[in-house]
């Protein structure tokens, strides 16, 4: 059992975040996911080699070096190929994603759900706002020729409630973040602002020029408490939990290897997910265990069905913020 202690729950409630060390057994819980993703990288390398976009599959390189080399030579970050969610726009019938069984088993890892239960209760829904992040070193990352920015870098300051639709504003959404490899500061670990979850939802703006960190939807610096960020370097096996209104970001990856992490969400059953077009599932129900989803194939099929439906219709709106907001000027 991995239920949290009373002091851990108190820390989460007061600070808006909590790091639990050694919640996972790295070999038992994390390595199967790494092994599954090695096959995904094999597939990507073969496809790009056949298209002539890379000169070699680089299968003699370790995973991180191989991914970085493939990204650099192809001139593109193939993040969607590995993700277990769909993009928020332009979904096509063949939009790549990875919804493998090892990923599904991690989503409903019993030790993880024990800890989640301590924070949001025993009726747990796996919220479909979820991602894998494979961030290459920034000095080796391909550049977006239109913007001049790297294609995948640091994540700017934001709140998770700010990146879902308003229907989920009262949802008790819990973010779960953990690294598959160690995430020291130089690899681009997360940074949080303690107690910021008590200060409400802030305006988020679309990037219109140079930013202090990352690029994209963000909280402008003028709305932040400058200098209050706390970096959270973590070892694999540890897990970070944080409140939906906690202000957080990631540091740039200045190391020579990728930063590899899972970014998951859970909420109590019956509450809006904030991304209703995407499929979630019942991960745990103490009152009705028969409602839980245990079949990884069914989970994958839900995502494939969603992809097919979205490819045949106009994609829904996922973003509440407009680019012309006067507060963003």
| Residue 23 belongs to a domain | yes
Reported as a single tens digit per residue, the pLDDT across 231-259 is: 999 999 999 999 999 999 999 999 999 99
Reported as a single tens digit per residue, the pLDDT across 288-307 is: 999 999 999 999 999 999 99
Question: Which pLDDT does position 329 carry in this prediction?
Answer: 73
The parent domain of residue 24 ranges over 16-316
| Residue 161 belongs to a domain | yes
Q: What is the mean pLDDT of the chain?
A: 94
The rounded distance, in Å, linking the Cα atoms of 67 and 79 is: 10
Question: Which pLDDT does position 206 carry in this prediction?
Answer: 86
Please give the average per-residue pLDDT across 295-320, as a whole number.
95
Question: Which pLDDT does position 61 carry in this prediction?
Answer: 98
- How many folded domains does the chain comprise? 1
Q: Is the pLDDT of residue 110 over 60?
A: yes
- Residue 29 sits in a domain whose CATH number is 2.60.120.620
Question: Which pLDDT does position 216 carry in this prediction?
Answer: 80
| Residue 6 belongs to a domain | no
| Residue 323 belongs to a domain | no
Reported as a single tens digit per residue, the pLDDT across 68-91 is: 999 999 999 999 999 999 999 999
Reported as a single tens digit per residue, the pLDDT across 261-280 is: 999 999 999 999 999 999 99
Q: Is the pLDDT of residue 164 over 70?
A: yes
The answer to whether 272 and 167 have CB atoms below 8 angstroms apart is yes
Reported as a single tens digit per residue, the pLDDT across 202-219 is: 999 987 655 667 678 899
Question: Which pLDDT does position 323 carry in this prediction?
Answer: 79
| Residue 325 belongs to a domain | no
Six-digit token string for 320: 């509440």
| Residue 20 belongs to a domain | yes
| Residue 300 belongs to a domain | yes
Residues 6+ apart with CB under 8 A from 24: 30, 109, 111, 112, 178, 236, 237, 238, 239
Report the chain's terminal Cα–Cα distance, integer Å. Answer: 50
| Residue 247 belongs to a domain | yes
């Amino acid at each position: 059992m991995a239920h949290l202690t009373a002091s851990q729950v108190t820390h989460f409630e007061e600070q808006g975040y909590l790091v639990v060390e050694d919640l996972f057994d790295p070999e038992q819980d994390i390595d199967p996911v790494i092994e599954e993703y090695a096959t995904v990288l094999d597939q990507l390398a073969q496809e790009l080699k056949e298209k002539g976009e890379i000169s070699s599959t680089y299968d003699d390189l370790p995973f991180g070096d191989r991914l970085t080399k493939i990204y650099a030579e192809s001139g593109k970050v193939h993040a969607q190929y590995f993700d277990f969610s769909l993009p928020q726009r332009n979904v096509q019938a063949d939009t790549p994603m990875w919804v493998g069984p090892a990923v599904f088993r991690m989503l409903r890892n019993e030790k993880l759900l024990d800890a989640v239960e301590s924070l949001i209760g025993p009726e747990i829904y796996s919220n479909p706002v979820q991602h894998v992040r494979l961030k290459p070193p920034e000095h080796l990352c391909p550049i977006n020729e239109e913007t001049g920015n790297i294609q995948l870098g640091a994540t700017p300051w934001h709140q998770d409630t700010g990146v879902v639709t308003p229907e989920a504003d009262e949802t008790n959404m819990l973010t779960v973040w953990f690294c598959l490899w160690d995430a020291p500061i130089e690899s681009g670990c997360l940074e949080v602002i303690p107690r910021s979850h008590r200060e409400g939802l802030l305006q988020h703006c679309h990037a219109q020029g140079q930013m202090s960190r990352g690029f994209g939807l963000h909280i402008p610096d003028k709305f932040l408490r400058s200098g209050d960020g706390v970096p959270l370097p973590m070892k694999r096996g540890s897990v970070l939990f944080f409140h939906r209104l906690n202000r957080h970001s990631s540091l740039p990856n200045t190391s020579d290897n990728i930063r590899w992490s899972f970014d998951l969400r859970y909420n109590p059953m019956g509450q809006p997910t904030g991304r209703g077009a995407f499929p979630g599932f019942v991960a745990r129900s103490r009152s009705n265990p028969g409602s839980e989803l245990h079949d990884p194939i069914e989970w994958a099929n839900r995502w494939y069905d969603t992809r097919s439906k979205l490819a045949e219709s106009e994609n829904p709106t996922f973003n509440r913020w407009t680019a012309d907001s006067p507060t963003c000027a």
